[in-house]
Structure 1
Amino acid sequence: MTKALIISGGIAGAVTAMALRKAGIASEIFEAYPTGADDVGAFLVVFANGLEALRVIDAQAPVVEHSFPAQRVALIGSDGARLGERPIAGTEQGTGLGPRTLRRATLYQVLHTEAARRGIAVRHGKRLTGAETVRTADGERVVATFADGSRAEGDLLIGADGLHSVTRTLIDPAAPKPRYTGQNTVCGYTRDADVALPSDTYTMIHGKRAFVGCTRAPDGEIWWFANIPGTELDRAHPSAAAPRVWRERLAGLLADDGTPAAAIVRATDDHRIVASNAYDLASTPTWHTDTMVVLGDAAHAAAPNAAQGASMAIEDGIVLAKCLRDHPEPRRAFVAYEQLRRERVEKVVAASAGLARRIASGTADGRPARPDGAGRGGPEADNNWLTGYRIEW
């Protein structure tokens, strides 16, 4: 039986492992961190396309169970005027379809619990340092080496190791690096803001100097995010600046607006604020060798404005597994996978970058940009090409 080595056990890694199992292919996950579930303060959105992809591997239900929905998006200008409301693309009443909002750590835990239930092994503390293809009597094999001195051998290696992927550079040492977009993303949670927000709705606030999105969870807590211009944070210690500094800076940017955004931010406790950098990776020229391939953020990364990162990674993992099922030779499977995915994901990256530019320039005020997005940029369109995508297993 073919065996795949999956590098990184994040969202993409767990989904890929479950999809490979459905395709009859064994796999093992190698996670660099001791426990995983990093970026615990951030939240994200899984849209209808991501949920439908999870349905292919019977993993949709636990994600829906641990998340909450939004049916529509409301737009507010910097003066507080309501600019309109519309359904979120892909939303179908009563189906549980997107978008679903949950913490990144929750999605990680849900998917890994499901993978473990299916007997998929995860090896923690395995930071990839190298990989080479060797020829054996049975054909080509790939041998991965890890920082702790251990090794692992398989028929192929799948790099699901994120934005700053080691696998990507092993495949192509000249591969482009992620680009910092010039924006910081700040998010937080509060129960103390005396602000009326409709349920099942993302309220998108286009302030004069900052963009804020927020939604109310079923328990009444307000979840919010903001995109603001700033210098790149130290990747090793992105939260080095005190949360109160972020709160006061963001509240100051919002103070002159006639919206509830400043009040929401000021009502958020220090320990409930987290900041990060926004990156994108427009195009990676080489996705694979004969035995190694990248997917998710390791292959393509959109600025967070379209909020499709998780859904794109989920789609990637399932399409790759399908291709490996249909093409037993890894290289042929990788070629088929790239042909099916490259155009779509690069279109998402470009669209999200355009939305980020419009928000940063203020030109999105009152004229919602496409594509559909939430979580850090806004669920503001009805593009069927994006959320209507379905995988025929």
Structure 2
Amino acid sequence: MTVEHALIIGGGIAGTATAMALQRGGVAATVYEAYRTTADGVGGALTLAPNGRNALRQIDADDAVAAVGIEVPGMVMQNHTGRPVGRFDGLPGLPSSLLLRRDRLYRALMDEAIGRGIRVEFGKRLTAVEDEGDKVTAHFADGSSAIGEVLVGADGIRSAVRSTLDSAAPAPRFTGLLGFGGWIPNPGLPTTGAYQHFAFGKRAFFGYFIDEREILWFSNVPAADPAEAKTASPQHWLAALRERHADDIPARDIVALLTPEDVAQPGPLEDIPTVRTWHRGRVVLVGDAAHPTSPSSGQGASQAIESSLELARALRDVPTVAGAFAAYESVRRDRVERIIARAAKINNDKAAGPLARIVRDLLMPVMMKTVMTPEKMFGDLHHHRIDFAARR
């Protein structure tokens, strides 16, 4: 055992999962969250992939998360006319993906962590990190500080901890897409039968899931300037979505149900292809602080949970902090950077021009039966398993 107590900066998905994984590995952790309250009601939807669920099972947290999610057996790909061009079903022997409201996933993990005796402090915005060789001190904006043996930055794509490790760390990269989405009541549209649907529209990408009560929808709209997300009005965006999806079925019918309030907070899709420095001394990064991928990967939460397990395993099994951090990075970096690059290619396809869209729509039905089968597309992602009990 190299470490007995860790400071975790960030109380989101990565932070709470890391705290539980460390606890399972014999390391006590305290979580410090910048915001003064829990993030209830904040965020849209996300998918937890089978590999993410298998990672949660290693720390006995999958049941708590599954209780607030919707199991989806697969997804259907469509063109702008609504015609299916392919279908991905789940892979044999793996759990179903879970469709989740982000705040419910957050709350399930937070409640589970607190229920296990993990201490969480709110209103603790990090201002500085002081690494003293045998210990590390976190300083907060309220004038308080905390001392631990290691400090874990689980504070997202704009990580303050990452900046302390590398003052010249690259900023998030805009992918060329703005993201819209949310949940609205279903006035009577046909359900999707538990399947998620994804449609390459003529001028934007659209996704949806419909049950008897609600519709989950999202749209990825090509944009030249991410600042538009903050400067344009909701009325502007509602008109833009109606124009972008005017020829798309059934996107236009779902967009017709939206109000300006439903599109009031678009966000730029961002990533960082390579975070150069994952750790230094007694400070290390996890989740989006270390490997931020755009939402198009469908793997952000799953990869954060996987990394939390591998970090906890390394701290449990490797005799030095430096060795543990190096072992953690060596087993994670290649996998997560391949996923980030894969998502970047998906983003390019979502923003395809007219000619590229025509070629894509012609080739996709054939590709879905050959090079884009579920096993070839998702086998390396979804079959990935971490045996947390096994010693290094």
User: How far did residue 380 of structure 1 move?
Assistant: 10
Q: For the Cα contact (< 8 Å) 1:31–1:123, is it kept in 2?
A: yes
Distance 1:365 1:36 in 2: 43
Query: Which deviates more, 69-78 or 162-171?
Result: 69-78
Task: Give deviations 1:234-284, integer Å, cap 9, x for gaps.
Answer: 59xx66644443222111111123x11011012134444442111011111
Higher helix residue share: 2
| Distance in 1 between residues matched to 2:92 and 2:216, nearest whole Å | 20
**What is the CA deviation profile of residues 290-333 of structure 1, one whole-angstrom value per residue up to 9, with x for unaligned ones?**
20000111111112112110101011111100110001421111
Please, which of 87, 96, 119 is the counterpart of residue 85 of structure 1? 87
Amino acid across the alignment from 1:227 = N
* Match for residue 129 of structure 2 among 131, 139, 150: 131
Partner of 1:264: 254
Paired letter, 1:287:
W
Question: Which moves more between the two structures, 185-194 or 39-48?
Answer: 185-194
Asked whether 1:277 is paired with 2:272, we answer no
The AA in structure 2 aligned to 1:261 is A
| Runs of 4+ more than 4 Å apart | 231-235, 238-242, 368-371
User: Does the alignment pair 1:156 with 2:150?
Assistant: yes
Comparing 69-78 and 192-201, the one that deviates more: 192-201
Shift of 1:188: 2.2
TM-score, scaled to structure 2? 0.89
Query: Displacement of 1:86 after TM fit?
Result: 2.9
What SS class does the counterpart of residue 383 from structure 1 fall into? helix
Q: How many residue pairs end up in the alignment?
A: 374
1:338 aligns with 329
Q: Which amino acid is the alignment partner of residue 265 of structure 1? A: V
Select 2:285's aligned residue among 279, 294, 297.
Answer: 294
RMSD: 2.4
Q: 8 Å contact 1:46–1:101 — kept in the other structure?
A: yes
Instruction: Report the Cα offset of residue 233 of structure 1.
Output: 4.6
2:186/2:213 contact within 8 Å kept = no
| Structure 2 counterparts to residues 1-393 of structure 1, below 5 A | 2-37=4-39, 40-88=42-90, 90=91, 97-135=95-133, 140-217=134-211, 219-233=212-226, 241-257=232-248, 259-273=249-263, 274-361=265-352, 362=357, 364-365=360-361, 367=364, 382-393=377-388
Determine what percentage of the aligned residue pairs are the same residue.
Answer: 39
- Please report how far the alpha carbon of residue 39 of structure 1 lies from its aligned counterpart in structure 2 after TM superposition: 7.2
Q: Deviations over 1:170-201 (max 9, x none)?
A: 11112111101121010022224543242111
1:344/1:241 CA distance change after superposition, 3 Å: same
Asked if structure 2 preserves the Cα contact closer than 8 Å seen for 1:75 and 1:205, the reply is yes
Amino acid at match of 2:256: R
- SS of equivalent residue, structure 2 residue 171: coil
> Contact 2:40/2:104 (CA < 8 Å) preserved in 1?
no
Cα distance in 2 for residues equivalent to 1:205 and 1:294? 35
The alignment partner of 1:245 has SS state of helix
Q: Could you list the runs of 5+ residues in structure 1 that have no partner in the other structure?
A: 372-378
Letter of the structure 2 residue corresponding to residue 384 of structure 1? G
User: Structure 2: which 5+ runs fail to align?
Assistant: 369-373
Instruction: Find the aligned partners of 1:282 and 1:61 in 2 and give their Cα distance.
Output: 33
Letter in 1 for 2:39: A
Alpha carbons of structure 1 residues 125 and 370: separation in structure 2 relative to 1, 3 Å: farther
| TM-score, normalised relative to structure 1 | 0.89
Preserved contact between residue 73 and residue 380 of structure 1 (Cα < 8 Å): no
Check the 8 A contact 1:370/1:381 in 2, yes or no.
no
Q: 1:44, 1:307 within 8 Å by CA — same for their partners in 2?
A: yes
Q: Is the 8 A contact 1:12 1:296 kept in 2?
A: yes
| Cα displacement string for residues 196-245 of structure 1 (whole angstroms, at most 9, x for unaligned residues) | 2421111111111011011124x43110111101255559xx66644443
Deviation at 1:80, TM superposition (A): 2.9
